[in-house]
Structure 1
């Protein structure tokens, strides 16, 4: 198994450990990730989330390979709407986004800003570029997929098989209004 990395929120109160190779390291360009990032970035002390071309960096890990070391009492969730199938979780000590979780998902999309500079896994692709405004320009350093690809879903399914189709629960202690 690959190395273990310790990551944390901006102030260090919420700390996590991730083990093994990530499922994928991506930049999401979907409308909901951009909308959520804009909302979070307006919270007091929150770090910038979006790249200069409006993408949200994520490192996707199997839930069974993410362990919270400290700060779970300050993890608060929000949804863009009551019926949203995704929730975003923030460390309310410093308003750092920690992860995005899909309802029923077996993985966490950990926000890229949790990694110290120079240690985040390299991006493999950008997804949902079709949601960007017309005329948006993206670098051509990685594939810029208009939607999620079959290979993307195959990686997610392979991770779920390796987890014996389990879906561990994540510690979240309340909600935050953004």
Structure 2
């Protein structure tokens, strides 16, 4: 199975959506899987589109990148993923503000955490405290269970999609870009 990175086609300058995560709860829930999402019953997360994003582009793309690594999907992408891959992603409404206007999108909580990274072939930087920081990830070859989207079990910030997901996007006419993982 071929693994790819996922990227937004919202602009050609790599503009992101800035999500406020002062207490770290969004990261702990959506990326690190350390807490439950109960706090989302009482709040709708808000993101601010960076300068390179226009309202016109925002209304046609189906995937947005955030500054903290949480994937953001359009309603069209959310509906398609729920139809084809139930149990792989949970969605939570969010608001993206662009040029003073509010747009409805969905934060994606990836539910599959798999051993994707080949630690023997990957390179790391050693931090002063002795922790390893993944520098250049090498992904395992072909022995991974089938999935559409997954995070690495140990390096949870690493999100990849499969060739199945690429096909889903092509067939569904979803405006999503792909890159080297």
- State TM-score, norm by structure 1: 0.25
- State TM-score, norm by structure 2: 0.25
